Chains A and B, each alone.
Chain A
Amino acid sequence: MNALDIPAITSTVVIMTPFLLAAIGGAFSAISGLLNIALEGLMLNAAFFAIVFTNLTGSLFLGILGAIVTTLLLTALFATVSFKFKANIFICGLATNFLAIALSIVLANAFYGVTGSIQFPGMPRLVPINIPILENIPILGNILSGHNAIVYVSWLLLVVAAVVINRTPFGMRLRAVGINEKAATAIGINAKRIQFTALLISGFTCALGGAVLSLTLGAFVPNVTSGRGWIALVIVYLGRMKPLGILIGSVVFGFVDYISNNLQATSNIPSGLLLSLPFFATVAALTLYSIIEMTMSKRGLLKK
């Protein structure tokens, strides 16, 4: 198997999209000083409601919109409890993950009388869109063309995120709050409102990330997110909350996921062991990063 053939590139680009979207939103939270461990649950919630609303309206656009609205509501609940009720944000994040799982099962039972996978025959799915001219360029065409609409939106959002974080007053306040919440408050920034907004942005991007998962599959499967929200959290950290770093991280973890999927089809290695690969690879990446960082900072200290 040649790992870097054309389908590998195309698949990696598609597989990395949920990571990228969740990580963009996770970066906004992280920059404002919050560890948003609810990324996983927010994506799951969106994956579920994307199917519900697409089936209800027959329109992919309205389905995605429904996923966004419901996920923003869940995020608002999460943020309100942690800010207004002054509850531990990390525990509230866990609560949000549990609530998302429970809601999908209870509502699936209430709406359709089923637990487990939900699939509707004839429901529209996200389909690849080819971009004229671009698609004909070798290799680059495979990277840039032939993906579904949300993939393109994710790239746009990455650029928008870079601009918002680095070039706007909101981005400046966001970073100020993250660096020192008390100092930011002292100069008149409403830190809680900034963080609330950052969480809502996470909710928005996770909504797209969840929608792309279920709408390309054309079905909602329990645990369809399978740890992607957590890995996105690691991507945010390894990418140092920078848009470029997040892009690189998403490509790397998208590729690991692709290899793990591909080996399941083509090799004799048992699929259970391959499914564990993304998680152990993430631990290895985290550790390697920390070792490098520690050695660098020690060197830096020695220079002084």
Chain B
Amino acid sequence: MSNTDTRANQLRNGLATFLGIMTAVAASLGVAVALIFILSKDPSRSLYYYFAGPFMNKFLFFNMIESSIPIIFSGLGIAVAFRSGVTNLGGEGQIFAGAMVAVLLGVWFPELPGFLGAVVILVGGLTVGALIGSLSGFLRMKWNVSDLLTTYLISMGLVQVINYLILGPFRDPSKIRIQSLSIPKSYMLPRIATPSYLHAGLYIAIAAVLVVHVLMKHTHTGYHLRVTGSNRQFARYGGINIKPFYVLPLAISGGLIGLGGAVQIVGRFQSGFLDLTAGLGWAGIGVALIARRNPLGVLPAALFYVYLQSGARVAMMNSDVTYEIAAIVTSVIFYLITAEVTFAFFRRRLVK
């Protein structure tokens, strides 16, 4: 086979993958339409708000972009883990822990210059996420304890502990709503599209995407991560010391997700509250899969993911459907995004 042939086939392969993803996306949108017809008394109104809602005005549009920020971090973290052959189901706890540490640092060190305060908080969130991830990685490396199970279980335990911190010792008694103490206002990242909530955390998210892309594609470490991820035995025979490659990918994964949690505090909320994670960690798994574990793909995947949710939110405010139909729609994506049948279907027709 000549070189140009392979190149053309590579392109066709990519196209087949893209069409496979689009099939899952189209099916999920189809389910959204069907659900609205079943559940809504005024389907056309609900449909309009679901699909056009996020684009109706700048406020809604930029809020949709804002809601993609934490999902970019979690999607990125999960993509690194999956690419490197480890599983991280602890996104919820890692986001929450990153956010809680952000609150604690802000409360304990209230007198720093604004910029430095934000940096300390972000580094704190990143570090705690990385430590949580590393713990599971360490257990896997040392005693072969399933990372799939420990990431989830540690995360669930942490969620309970942080709930306690917010309800108990760090609760802000002056607020009616249950929330933690707040970090100083001077630490908050600037809003970049008022009156919406969109904040400079978006730039951090984009920077993170680029850094992870370069790390995975253009560095030695990234190469080792990918090789051990695709075949651990092969990597070992190739002379890579595979042991650290349980800890490192989970540290990076947890670190990115913890950073996302800290960004939620300095960018959006200023204080912690009980339902802060609200599935953001799980959403990261969906985003990573839509992106086919590719860091650069995480950006469009996260935007699509939040589009589905923002649409449901606008529809809930303006018509009679509940927000949770978005959760049904995203579970359809989860079901179909790895379905080999659709990808094989397009590959058969395109790749010679």
Contact = CB atoms under 8 A, between A and B. Distances in A.
B347 to A, nearest CB: 13
B265 to A, nearest CB: 20
Given A87-B339, A106-B325, A286-B150, A95 B144 contact: no
B5 interface: no
B336 A81 contact: yes
Given A272-B163, A290-B143, A106 B39 contact: yes
Interface string B139-172: 1000111101110111011111101110110000
Contacts of A115: 322, 324
A52 B134 CA distance: 43
Contact of B152 (A84, A110, A230, A290): A230
A92 interface: yes
A98 B157 contact: no
A276 B336 contact: no
12 contacts: A86-B341, A91-B335, A92-B338, A95-B331, A95-B335, A98-B327, A105-B324, A105-B327, A106-B322, A276-B161, A286-B150, A294-B144
Interface of A is mostly: helix
Given A85-B340, A273-B161, A280-B153, 18 more contacts: A81-B339, A86-B344, A95-B332, A95-B334, A99-B327, A105-B327, A106-B327, A115-B322, A234-B149, A237-B149, A270-B164, A272-B163, A276-B157, A276-B160, A276-B164, A277-B157, A290-B139, A290-B144
B85 to A, nearest CB: 13
Interface centre among B156, B282, B328 (most CB of A within 10 A): B156
A84 B341 contact: yes
B342 interface: yes
A279 B144 contact: no
A266 interface: no
Interface residues on A, range: 35 or more
A35 B332 CA distance: 20
Interface string B254-285: 00000000000000000000000000001001
Contacts of A105: 322, 324, 327
Given A105-B324, A237-B146, A91 B164 contact: no
Given A272-B164, A273-B164, A283 B153 contact: yes
B95 interface: no
Nearest to B38: A110
Interface residues of B, number: 45
A94 B146 contact: no
B208 to A, nearest CB: 24
Interface in A122-177: none
A252 to B, nearest CB: 15
Interface of B: 35, 39, 139, 143-146, 148-150, 152-154, 156-161, 163-165, 167-168, 282, 285, 289, 322, 324-325, 327-328, 330-332, 334-342, 344
Interface string A70-91: 0000000000010011111011
B24 to A, nearest CB: 9
Contacts of B160: 272-273, 275-276, 279
Interface of B is mostly: helix
A91 B322 contact: no
A34 interface: no
Contacts of B337: 87, 91
A216 interface: no
A96 B139 CA distance: 28
A179 interface: no
Give the 3 A-B CB pairs with smallest separation, nearest first.
A272-B164, A102-B327, A95-B334
A121 B192 CA distance: 51
A103 interface: yes
B168 A287 contact: no
A299 to B, nearest CB: 15
A233 B327 contact: no
A88 B338 contact: yes
A101 interface: yes
B282 to A, nearest CB: 7
Given A287-B139, A290-B143, A94 B149 contact: no
B324 A230 contact: no
Given A272-B164, A282-B153, A290-B145, A87 B322 contact: no
A290 B149 CA distance: 13
A227 interface: yes
A291 interface: yes
Contacts of A85: 335-336, 339-342
Given A272-B167, A276-B160, A283 B154 contact: yes
Nearest to B87: A90
B154 A279 contact: yes
B41 to A, nearest CB: 11
Contacts of A277: 157
A57 interface: no
